[in-house]
Structure 1
Amino acid sequence: MGLLSFRLLIIFFLSVIIARAPLGDAWGKEGHIMACKIAEPYLTEKTLKAVEDLLPEVAAGELSTMCPWADQVRFRYRWASPLHYINTPEVCNYKYSRDCHNSKGEQGMCVAGAINNYTNQLYSYGDPSNQYNLTESLMFLAHFVGDIHQPLHVGFEDDEGGNTIVVHWYRRKTNLHHVWDSSMIQTAMRDYYNNDLDTMVEGIKLNITSGWPDDVETWQSCGNKRATCANDYAEESIQLACDYAYKDAEQGSTLGDDYFFTRLPIVKKRIAQAGLRLASILNRIFDSGNNKEIQSY
């Protein structure tokens, strides 16, 4: 094979990889780390011990360091790509039976199904007959609880959760999905938190204790005895996507201060909810004394 032909072949394979790459990572790296940093103080001693036991050595005992992992391995685990999101058929509601599937129609292959599945796997912790890689189960679960709280990860199928809606974030060209994944968080960190992630986390924690104290118990509660409450979180996200994310965001529009100031509180609250609910799910798994297998709807 000549040098030119070899180069053309390489370009072809690279173009295929890029074309097949998942669109959007659900909360950028910062958002996932923030959600898990919020979760960590709410883990019970027994839960924290189990989490530290399962985490890889590179995590140094901190769950937050591994919460972006599921995005980092998306090219190796291509089968997991549909587990990061849910598509609805241009409607502002979510139904598990209608919406939780992959492009092949396989049920349960969406972010809500993934949360149920990896929760179920983690219930086998301590069972010597367990056949799962519980380290990966934990890291997937922590990531997907973050994902389901990003409103546009329960968005419309036609625009791929806002990925095909091209907008300007102030002067920078991007897409609507990326605005919610990363742009608003990065702008907030720059403008209000001196580009320091931990400072923004502390600000969200302050809202949890002083701004939203009456809501926290409701966020953490889950009365579903057959499964997790992932379906409820998905329903919240699609409503927020319709009411806030898609609203005023037309193809080619410029999103600036008005959009930022009215949507940033939603971003902060969803990160807080993701962290608190992740802690509740993990405490239920590792410190509830009720290791019953869950089932999806």
Structure 2
Amino acid sequence: MSDDPRRVAVALMVAVVLLWAPLAHAWGDLGHRAVADVAEQLIRPETRQALQPLLVHEQAAHLADLANWADAHRELPAFKHTARYHFINFPRDDCRFPGATSCNDGDCIVSVIERFQRELADPELSLSQRGEALKFLVHLVGDLHQPLHAGWFDDWGGNGFQINLHGEGSNLHKLWDVNLPAAVASEAPEPLTQRLLALSLPWQDQGRAADWALESCRLIGSEQLYPAKHKLSSAYIERQRPLVAQRMAIAGRRLARLLDESLTAP
């Protein structure tokens, strides 16, 4: 297995990304753009038309151009409070509401997705207000499908779980944010968006943000996201890569449905 050229290339790529990646955010820039691209391929024609004034206002040609705005602005003084928007935490091995520990003030990812969907759908709001709601939604729906953004409170969704991969130190959350999506993107020459659209997915398109949070949380245990040892090999990357692709593909489909409901539903 170790002499498979593709797997060797993936292992080397992951090591390089771990070495050079900046502060990580869910799915990384590449993954968020892929989620947005999937959604844009699937929205209704009338939704696409309704999006145009908002995209023009935001000086964007595609949804993917907005996909990383929320991360790019979260470090600015005026947006510091939005750091809480990107996750929800649960007590360890207790994926249920009201067991969630980080939504009491209404600023967790579940509540703000619901709020921004209402704002996007409100024709009485300005283009600026609805455009900002759109930028957050495109990003946060992606975030919520990275399982560790609905992870354990005691280690802040894997940020406190230190790992070593190919001699480089990192943490489990960062691995899922950046390195695993990069591994998915590099595994085949076809464009990532097209591969995500072609996936056969074990899911049903139903539920809302709270259901998606519980789904992500439960994956942490059922799919054994936490490795038994802190020193990882490329075998962990290989094992989790299909799940990462599935989560990005599902996020894109659910984002498309959310945009359809907000902009063109009766």
Range class of TM-score, shorter chain: 0.7 to 0.9
Shift of 1:183: 0.6
Q: Secondary structure at the match of 2:226?
A: coil
Q: Which of 1 and 2 has greater Rg? A: 1
Report how many residues are paired.
Answer: 242
Counterpart residue number, 1:204: 196
Deviation string, structure 1 residues 165-218 (Cα, Å, up to 9, x no partner) = 11023333211001110111223333x235xxx7122222221xxx33xx46x2
Letter in 1 for 2:111: G
- Superposed, which structure 2 residues align to 1:1-297 within 5 Å? 24-56=24-56, 59-76=59-76, 77-95=79-97, 97-99=98-100, 101=102, 105-106=104-105, 108-124=106-122, 126-127=123-124, 133-190=129-186, 192-194=187-189, 199-207=191-199, 211-212=200-201, 215=202, 218-219=204-205, 221-222=206-207, 229-244=208-223, 246-250=225-229, 253-289=230-266
Q: Is the 8 A contact 1:146 1:274 kept in 2?
A: yes
Q: Is the 8 A contact 1:154 1:237 kept in 2?
A: yes
Q: Is the 8 A contact 1:83 1:110 kept in 2?
A: yes
Shift of 1:287: 1.1
Deviation string, structure 1 residues 16-37 (Cα, Å, up to 9, x no partner) = xxxxxxx741111111001011
**CA 71–287 in structure 1, closer or farther in 2 if over 3 Å, else same:** same
**CA 117–132 in structure 1, closer or farther in 2 if over 3 Å, else same:** farther
Letter in 1 for 2:214: E
Counterpart residue number, 2:5: none
Cα RMSD for the two superposed structures: 2.1
Q: Is the 8 A contact 1:151 1:245 kept in 2?
A: no
Shift of 1:142: 0.9
Unaligned residue ranges in structure 1 (runs of 5+): 1-22, 223-228, 290-297
Q: Secondary structure at the match of 1:159?
A: coil
4+ long deviations beyond 6 Å: none
Letter in 2 for 1:43: I
Shift of 1:57: 5.3
**CA 24–86 in structure 1, closer or farther in 2 if over 3 Å, else same:** farther
- Taking structure 1 as the reference length, what is the TM-score of the superposition? 0.75
Unaligned residue ranges in structure 2 (runs of 5+): 1-22
**CA 147–249 in structure 1, closer or farther in 2 if over 3 Å, else same:** farther
- How many Å separate the matches in 2 of 1:160 and 1:138? 27
Percent of aligned positions that are identical: 29
Q: Secondary structure at the match of 1:99?
A: coil
- Taking structure 2 as the reference length, what is the TM-score of the superposition? 0.83
